[in-house]
C-alpha cells in the first residue's frame, strides 16, 4: 500500500519483502515511526495459561513473555500497536484499548483479538460478515457447530492460528498508515 514496511522475526519470512531475521528488541531504536507488534501468544493467551500450574517452568516463560511485551510497549516509537488474543496482558499490564473481530473487517471468522495502542486511533470496522446460526448461537466459518476452532492438531497449527486475518491487516495499513 505504499508504506515503507519491514518485518522482523526470529524466524525467516514466509512472504517476499524487507525482513530482518533476529531479535526485534535490537531494532526498536532505529527511528521507526510506527510499530505493529505481534508477540508470540503461547505463554500469554488465556487458552494456554492453565498449563502454567501443570508444566514446570511454564509460569517463568509467561513472565519472560510479559517482559517482552513491556519492552515493545515502552519502545521509543511514537505510534505503537500490540496485537494478542485475550490473555494475561490485560490483567498483568493493562486492559486493551480495543478488541476486534475478523468478522467486522470482512473475514468470515471469529477470533477476539486485543489491541494495545499508543498514538493510534482504534480501528474502524470496514465490513461486517454475518454469522450462520446453529441452535440459536452465532458461528463463523472458522468454528465448528459447537464453537471450537476447526483446525485439528498438526505441527503447524500454532502458525496457522497466529496469522492475522487479511481484513484486519488491511484496516491497519489503510487507517494507521494515514495517522
CB-CB contact of 163 with 151 (8 Å)? no
Q: Which CATH number fits domain 7-176: 3.40.50, 3.10.20, 2.60.40, 3.30.2000?
A: 3.40.50
CA distances to 13, 76, 142, 156, 166 from 23, in Å: 14, 16, 32, 22, 25
Q: List pLDDT tens digits, range 52-85.
A: 889 899 999 999 999 999 999 999 999 999 999 9
Question: Quick check: pTM over 0.85?
Answer: yes
Q: Where are the domains of the chain?
A: 7-176
Q: List pLDDT tens digits, range 126-171.
A: 999 999 999 999 999 998 888 888 877 888 877 877 889 999 999 9
Taking residues 98-120, report their average pLDDT.
97
CB-CB contact of 161 with 151 (8 Å)? yes
CB-CB contact of 106 with 81 (8 Å)? no
At residue 179, the pLDDT reads 57
CB-CB contact of 175 with 123 (8 Å)? yes
Residues paired with 34 in a beta bridge: 79
Amino acid at each position: 500500500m505504499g508504506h515503507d514496511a519491514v518485518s522482523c522475526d526470529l524466524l525467516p519470512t514466509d512472504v517476499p519483502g524487507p525482513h530482518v531475521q533476529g531479535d526485534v528488541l535490537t531494532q526498536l531504536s532505529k527511528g521507526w515511526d510506527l510499530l505493529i507488534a505481534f508477540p508470540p501468544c503461547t505463554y500469554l493467551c488465556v487458552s494456554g495459561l492453565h498449563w502454567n500450574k501443570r508444566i514446570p517452568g511454564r509460569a517463568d516463560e509467561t513472565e519472560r513473555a510479559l517482559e517482552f511485551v513491556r519492552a515493545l510497549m515502552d519502545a521509543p516509537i511514537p505510534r505503537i500497536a500490540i496485537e494478542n488474543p485475550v490473555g494475561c496482558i490485560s490483567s498483568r499490564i493493562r486492559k486493551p484499548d480495543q478488541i476486534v473481530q475478523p468478522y467486522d473487517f470482512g473475514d468470515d471468522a471469529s477470533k477476539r483479538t486485543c489491541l494495545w495502542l499508543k498514538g493510534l486511533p482504534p480501528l474502524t470496522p470496514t465490513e461486517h460478515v454475518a454469522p450462520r446460526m446453529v441452535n440459536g448461537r452465532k458461528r463463523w466459518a472458522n468454528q465448528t457447530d459447537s464453537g471450537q476452532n476447526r483446525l485439528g492438531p498438526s505441527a503447524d497449527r500454532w502458525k496457522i492460528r497466529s496469522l492475522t486475518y487479511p481484513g484486519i491487516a488491511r484496516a491497519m495499513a489503510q487507517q494507521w498508515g494515514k495517522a
